[in-house]
Amino acid sequence: MRQKMITLCPTTYELASNMDNFSAWIRQELMKKQATQYKAKPESEERYQAFCNPCDLSYLDTDPDMLKGLPCKECGKKTFYLGLIE
Ligand SMILES: [Zn+2]
């Protein structure tokens, strides 16, 4: 284990002082953050789909908000949002 100095305000210092194992808690929180970041990356690779029935055309995007209410490029009608592609 290595040590790292952290700066606390009077309130957080009090909270930290009342914890049995502040260092363990910090490590746990940091690992949680890392886990969240790791998880967030593959999610951004996921693709969503919208579909135009009359034209039989699919539209794909990594951002679902880009597809909700997207007009079809062929007929100009609103496409049907299908959601996440498995
Ligand atoms: Zn269309």
- Say yes or no: 54 and 81 in one domain: yes
Secondary-structure breakdown of the chain: helix, strand, coil percentages, each rounded to the nearest 5: 40, 20, 40
Query: Which residue type does 40 have?
Result: A
Distance CA 82, CA 60 (A): 10
- Say yes or no: 34 and 61 in one domain: no
Measure 46 CA to ligand 1 centroid, in angstroms: 24
Reported as a pLDDT band with limits 50, 70 and 90, residue 46 is confident
- Look at residue 14 in the predicted model and tell me its pLDDT: 96
In a domain, 63, yes or no: yes
Q: Are 23 and 9 in contact (CB under 8 A)?
A: no
Distance CA 39, CA 74 (A): 36
Does residue 43 carry a pLDDT above 90?
A: no
Lowest mean pLDDT among 3-7, 38-42, 52-56, 82-86: 38-42
Tell me, yes or no, if the pTM score tops 0.85. no
Measure 81 CA to ligand 1 centroid, in angstroms: 13
- Look at residue 41 in the predicted model and tell me its pLDDT: 61
Distance CA 80, CA 77 (A): 9
Measure 66 CA to ligand 1 centroid, in angstroms: 16
Number of domains the chain contains: 2
